[in-house]
Amino acid sequence: MLSCVNPDQISGLAWLGCYLSTAKHMAFYQSFLIVLLLIAAVAPLAILLGLLSASASRARFFLIRLPGTLYIAMVRGIPDIVFFLFVPLALDQGIEYLRHRSLCSDQTGSVWQGNDFVVCDIAKMPLSSASQWVHDFYGFALAVVAFALVFGAFAGNVIAGAMAAVPKAQLETAEAYGMTRRQVYWRIMFRQMWIYALPGLSNLWMILIKATPLLFLLGIQDIVYWARELGGAKTSAFTYPHPDWRIWYFLGLLVFYLMMTWVSERGFTYLNKQFSRGQSMAINPQKEGA
């Protein structure tokens, strides 16, 4: 818009329209999509890790049960922020170390030089010559892994409890009918446990939504970062000066998170109704003859 070239000469709604269409505001709007993509990517991975760890923690064999139990106990016992900071760093350095050893085998020196971690240029992830979107995607992928590992352990604890809540009589009846352990797991336990797991998983979903501002700790410019950046007091040195508007930006974030919470509650209410079908007869089998 030509009218936005000289913002000092416009005012009112025209000035506000120009202000809200700056490059920084476009990045602010894009950060909302990043938050939604993070939640959409982390949720299924966390459920998958939860299923694997919960199933492993209930296994008969000690060598299978031990990793699942340790994973759930360790992650739940360590502050989340430690994992959010440690996992991306350790994973990034681990990948670069393996690439350094395979691609730069002629360099025999240690990659740890004092406080610095130094690898050859072709071993860096991503390469310095890579496009900016590659760097952004790589950082986002590391964040997804960190979030999935943390919430997967909590999901594993919830699912393990839900598995234990499935009436043992149903499992024993299925075995009496000749079902194998695998059939009992998939046809009885796996289908019955969700009604017991949904309350805990819904709480984890809400916590995941509230944990998204921690993206800033991983070097990703999230919605909270931009709200603070754009809402802070400006001076005449800026193109669009204004007073401290952080309260309005954070009020917008409040509405955004409340809307996500409202939609999530409606979604879990629907899922609860779906998984509850037939449960009343199982709980009170004499109701029909009363």
From 39-43, 81-85, 251-255, the region with the lowest mean pLDDT: 81-85
Q: Which CATH architecture has domain 30-222?
A: Orthogonal Bundle (1.10)
Task: Name residue 113's beta-bridge partners.
Answer: 116
The CA distance from 48 to 66, in Å, is 18
Q: Tell me: the pLDDT tens digits for 216-235?
A: 777 787 888 888 888 876 64
**Secondary structure of the chain as H, E, C letters:** CHHHCCHHHCCHHHHHHHHCCCHHHHHHHHHHHHHHHHHHHHHHHHHHHHHHHHHHHCCCCHHHHHHHHHHHHHHHHCCHHHHHHHHHHHHHHHHHHHHHHHHCCCCCCCCEECCEECCCHHHCCCCCCCCHHHHHHHHHHHHHHHHHHHHHHHHHHHHHHHHHHCCHHHHHHHHHCCCCHHHHHHHHHHHHCHHHHHHHHHHHHHHHHHHHHHHHHHCCCCHHHHHHHHHCCCCCCCCCCCCCCHHHHHHHHHHHHHHHHHHHHHHHHHHHHHHCCCHHHHHCCCCCCC
112-113 vs 116-117, strand pairing mode = antiparallel
**pLDDT above 70: percentage of residues in the chain:** 88
Q: What is the mean pLDDT of residues 111-116?
A: 77
- Contacts for 123 with CB less than 8 Å, ≥ 6 apart: 96, 99, 100, 103, 104
The answer, yes or no, to whether residue 237 has pLDDT greater than 50, is no
Pairwise pLDDT comparison (285 vs 259), residue with the higher score: 259
pLDDT of residue 8: 64
Q: Average pLDDT of the chain?
A: 82
Mean pLDDT is lowest, of 39-53, 145-159, 237-251, for 237-251
Domain residue limits, the chain:
30-222
CA–CA gap between residue 25 and residue 138 (Å, rounded): 23
At 49, the pLDDT band (50, 70, 90 cuts) reads very high
Contacts with 55 (C-beta within 8 Å, 6 or more apart), sequence order: 68, 163, 185
Identify the residue with better confidence: 12 or 132.
132
Q: How far is it, in rounded angstroms, from Cα 195 to Cα 284?
A: 16
